[in-house]
Chain A
Amino acid sequence: MSSNKKVRILLAKAGPDTHVRGLSILMVRLRDAGMETIYSGLYQTPETVVAAAIQEDVDFIFLSSHLGRHMALAEQIMALLKEKGAEHISLAVGGVIPPRDFARLKEMGVKGAFQPHTLTSTVIDFVRSQTTEVTKK
């Protein structure tokens, strides 16, 4: 990623999970922090999320999950990213995600996992640390 390009992030919801409070905050706060945010809208599937991520040329997908289906969704999104040759796009998940799932998410290649109420500054720091890493490479 070139250093003068703004980080682009797709904020995604999937299935009938309509809890958007967290994403509505990130939408503004990430933008305030100099990043570009794109919102997927509701009722997406792993396929439409990955297609949007590729089309929008994003660096990150942030998947918000509040109905306990984060493991299955993350697995499908990771597989699709691989299949479409888009492994340069990183996935992070946030919402009702028990920490006991963190290790398995990491094994899948998910770059970050955030519980409810996570401070927004923590999420911003996470994006910055990830992009610095990429730039160094």
Chain B
Amino acid sequence: MKKEPQGKPPQPQEASKYTSGGIPIKGVYTPQDIKDLEYDKDIGDPGGYPFTRGIYSGARGIVFGQRPVLGYGLPEETNKRIKYLLQFGMASPSGMPSYNLTMDMTSAYGFDSDDPRMSQWVGVSGPPCNSILDSEAILEGIPLEGVYHGALSYAPNWRVAHYIGIADNRSIPRSKLIGATLNDSLHGPIGEGVHLFPPSGCLRLIVDTLKFVTAEMPYFRACDVQAYSSREAGCTAPQEAAFAIADMIEVVQGCLKKGLDIDELSSHLTFFFACSSDFFEEVAKFRAARKVWAQIMRERFKAKNDRSLRMRIQVKTSASTLPAQHPLLNIYRSGVQALSAIFGGASGLNITCMDEAYSAPTEEAARIALLTGKVIEHETGIGNVADPLAGSYYVEYLTHEMEKAIWEYLEKIDAMGGYIAALERGYLQREIAATNVKQSYDLDSGKQVIVGLNRFQPEKDEDEDIEIFDQDPMITYKVMSERLNKLRAERDNGRVKELLAEFREAARADGYLMPIMVEAAKAHCTTAEIFGILKEELGEDRSCLIPPDWFSTV
């Protein structure tokens, strides 16, 4: 271990007076601190309004579905990784065998693999997804019935169209398909940064997919708000929850305008949250978010069915909290975050791999992450009782404070005209930037400690202690380019032309896109063909050129 520098030793800090999200805390809590809370009104039993204690009654809600996000290289390499991890019990929240696929950024941005500008990125951080043939190769030998499909897919839901097309080809009724997709490009600008279309275009595509699943796929969740990515981009816990809820409000309003029924729609909506390091704050975040959402669904959107009020929360433990130094410590960090998510009543949990700061996960790192969850599930007994921290003076106080913080943001965003308006004026981006800069000063000064980073640093770079995932995109680029040439030569190009014309017409006329997209998938249209039309008809998002003043008001 490196000796701590003699010159300016980091001073032991006083116990933090605030949570990482800025909620004031003191050293001890008593009944006085929660005397204004009423059990039935503010907390309630698990499975009952306002769902603070979870969306299911009893311990049924405590689930350990674990699906590391996976995918890399050629489609068949991803297929191999899926099969490898299924052996170790990779499963959905409901306990079905499951996978959670990424796609490479080239496909995510709507390019085909043979676009020379993208040659360095083909198969990086996900497999390429040019046509339904690639999706077929990824799912080769994997049944669609009885397996929960999970795929990170950006707008439009081109990849979902592939999945439906494969089901059609395999003669599996669409109504039997079970799974989920992201379909939340509205979070791109404050999260992962995937900018595809202007916000109004994003919203239109989200609503289009929700319309389709509401009509045809009762067991398919088709809007999973990407709070995870905005948290990883720097949000605090209250910001993460509030921005996610504001986004979902915008989506629900968009669907209602299109005539969808709130109670039919609600079963297709989920939230994807991160779980970070401030243990009790994270527990409070999940509890408070459920309560706020239940109230919005009941009072603002007048949902009648009790089930519609339930916020389903998927959690992935935070990747951005895992530093490069002492990488094996990250197994512990992720494990503790997983406990926090379980105590908070998450409906599903993915544990992040220890090698986040180095590369895409190796097979070893993915296996350890998956089995960390199995240890918690089978050895600790914490899943036996629902919401075991309820009634703790501190946890109930913190949950209440978190709820207030979330409402405060929601009121501000509403006053601006909603999530899209707040996005367009840069408000959300500025809030996140301010949080990031503050944290960077706190790390420099030692006010915030990350072990290995600004205290207890290792003596040497430790990457020789772990294996690092490596790949050569140029190989994937070449193989995929050859496959695309073959595809373009062999498919029925008359049919392709006809479908693309029909698709363009619908895109221009505010028509219904998903049914045409499914047919286009089956006819072997490519990603660039579909996205190309959308970019022309919906416009391209220019906010990728972030105005520098968004960063200057700190």
A interface residues with partner B (beta carbon < 8 Å): 15-21, 24-25, 27-29, 31, 37, 39, 41-43, 45, 67-69, 72-73, 96, 98-100, 102, 115-117, 119-121
Contacts and interface: CB of A to CB of B under 8 A. Distances in A.
Interface of B: 105-106, 108-109, 111, 117-118, 120-121, 124-125, 192-195, 232-234, 320, 323-324, 357-360, 432-433, 436-437, 440-441, 443-444, 450, 453-454, 461, 463-464, 468, 471, 473, 544-546, 548, 551-552, 554
Contacts of A121: 444
A67 B104 CA distance: 10
Contacts of B433: 24, 28
Contacts of A39: 546, 548
Contacts of B453: 117, 119
Contacts of B554: 28
B436 A21 contact: yes
Contacts of A19: 192-193
B464 A100 contact: yes
Contacts of A120: 440-441, 443-444
A48 to B, nearest CB: 11
B195 A16 contact: no
Contacts of A45: 117
Nearest to A42: B544
Contacts of B440: 25, 29, 119-120
Contacts of A42: 193, 195, 544-545
A69 B468 contact: no
A50 B511 CA distance: 43
A99 B121 contact: no
A115 B323 CA distance: 9
Nearest to A17: B105
A28 B120 CA distance: 30
Top 8 nearest A-B pairs (CB, nearest first) are A18-B193, A16-B105, A99-B461, A41-B545, A42-B544, A121-B444, A115-B324, A27-B551
B443 to A, nearest CB: 6
A72 B193 CA distance: 22
A19 B234 CA distance: 11
Nearest to A37: B548
Contact of A115 (B195, B357, B546): B357
15 contacts: A15-B105, A15-B121, A18-B194, A25-B440, A27-B551, A72-B120, A96-B357, A96-B358, A98-B358, A98-B359, A99-B463, A100-B468, A117-B450, A119-B454, A120-B443
B404 to A, nearest CB: 27
Given A18-B192, A28-B433, A116 B120 contact: no
Given A16-B106, A16-B108, A120-B444, A27 B323 contact: no
Contacts of A98: 358-359, 463, 468
Contacts of A20: 193, 233, 546
Nearest to B444: A121
A80 to B, nearest CB: 15
Contacts of B109: 16
A78 B433 CA distance: 31
A68 B473 CA distance: 10
Contact of A116 (B125, B323, B444): B323
A38 to B, nearest CB: 8
Contact of A119 (B444, B473, B548): B444
Contacts of B106: 16
B195 A18 contact: yes
Residue in B357, B545, B551 with the greatest tally of chain A CB atoms within 10 Å: B551
B249 to A, nearest CB: 25
A102 B444 CA distance: 23
A68 B436 contact: no
A117 B324 contact: yes
